[in-house]
Amino acid sequence: MLEINALCKSFGGVQASQSVTMTVPQGGITSLIGPNGAGKTTLFALITGFHTPDSGSVRFLGQDITCLPPEAIATRGMIRTFQTVQPFAGQTVRENIAVGAHLKIRGRTEALAKAEDVARQVGLGDRLDMDAGSLTVAGRKRLEVARALATDPKMILFDEVLAGLNPSEIRDVIPVINTIRDAGVTILLIEHVMQAVMSLSDYTWVLNQGAIIAEGPPREVVSDPHVIEAYLGKGMAERIAKREAASA
């Protein structure tokens, strides 16, 4: 569904994305993990048109979308959310979600009705008339999800939708994401919460210093020595292996 081919981007001397090649199949949940500063959010921004890549290409549904502006990509059915939540403060939850709904729906009444449906779906049904700026962090994360969902997307890119939530809030949001997948929306998520990565995703890509260093089902990936070293430092994989061998 999404094919990224040799995508490169540098900011000054920093290679934020070094020839990243990855694919996301239709349906299911794919995750993208990596230590802080690995370039995950930059990759999202490159895919969704917020940054233009220096070289390489992005194909979505078989069409080249490299260098298209964000709104054109959103119109094609790929929506991203933001790591730092970006509510339209001063507008109500209903109005916020309706902005997403308006992508496909022209009429105001219909868009507001759709917003209400989506709000119920993500558990914001009781806060429809609240100012989006006064929502809690968990509420704002839900709002991000709701706005994206209201556009009727084919694919959603979630950027750390669980970050900053406490364990019980995470337990609440995970089923919401599962429902979205079950509705047939392809999901690519950046996540630090490993519990979520393991339980949600079917396939995982690992990014470090702007390059893909591993891929595979999440359980295999987390035991990959390259991945352990990327997260914990050089030599750690060897030491863990030794310790496990000793205790076995």
Partner 1 sequence: MNQANKLLMLIVVFGLIALAPMLITQESLLNIVIMTLYAALLGQAWNILGGYGGQVSFGHAAYFGTGAYAVAVLQVQFGINPWLGLVVGGFAAAAVGAFIGFCTFRYGLRGSYFALVTLAFAEVLRILSNSVDFTGAGVGLLIPLERSAANFQFASKEGFFWVIWAMTFAAFLTVWKIGNSRFGAQLMAVRDNEDAARALGVDAFRVKMGAIMLSGFFAGLAGVFYAQYFLYLDPHIAYGAAISVESLLVPIIGGMGTLFGPLLGAAFLHGLSELSRAVIGDAPGISLVLYGVLLVVMVLFVPRGLAGLASHLRSGKPAESRVEEGKGHA
Contact pick of 85, 124, 177, 214 for partner 1 (by CB under 8 A): 85
231 belongs to the binding site for partner 1 (CB under 8 A): no
136 touches 164 (CB < 8 A): no
CB of 122 closer than 8 Å to CB of 145: yes
- Residue from 102, 114, 127, 142 touching partner 1 (CB under 8 A): that is 102
Give the pairing of strands 203-208 and 29-33: parallel
Whichever of 104 and 181 has its CB closer to partner 1, that residue is: 104
Residue 239: CB minimum distance to partner 1, A: 36
Stretch that binds partner 1, among 7-15, 31-39, 94-102, 205-213 (CB under 8 A): 94-102
Q: Does 122 bind partner 1 (CB under 8 A)?
A: no
Task: Give the x-and-dash track for 161-200 against partner 1 (CB under 8 A).
Answer: ---x------------------------------------
Q: Does 28 bind partner 1 (CB under 8 A)?
A: no
* 106 counts as binding partner 1 under rule CB under 8 A: yes
Q: Is 233 an interacting residue with respect to partner 1 (CB under 8 A)?
A: no
Q: Which among 89-97, 202-210, 223-231, 237-245 is the span making contact with partner 1, rule CB under 8 A? A: 89-97
d(CA 169, CA 167): 5
Q: Is 142 in the site for partner 1 (CB under 8 A)?
A: no
Binding residues (CB under 8 A) for partner 1: these are 48, 50, 69-71, 74-75, 79-82, 84-91, 95, 98-100, 102-103, 105-108, 111, 131, 133-134, 137, 140, 147-148, 151, 164
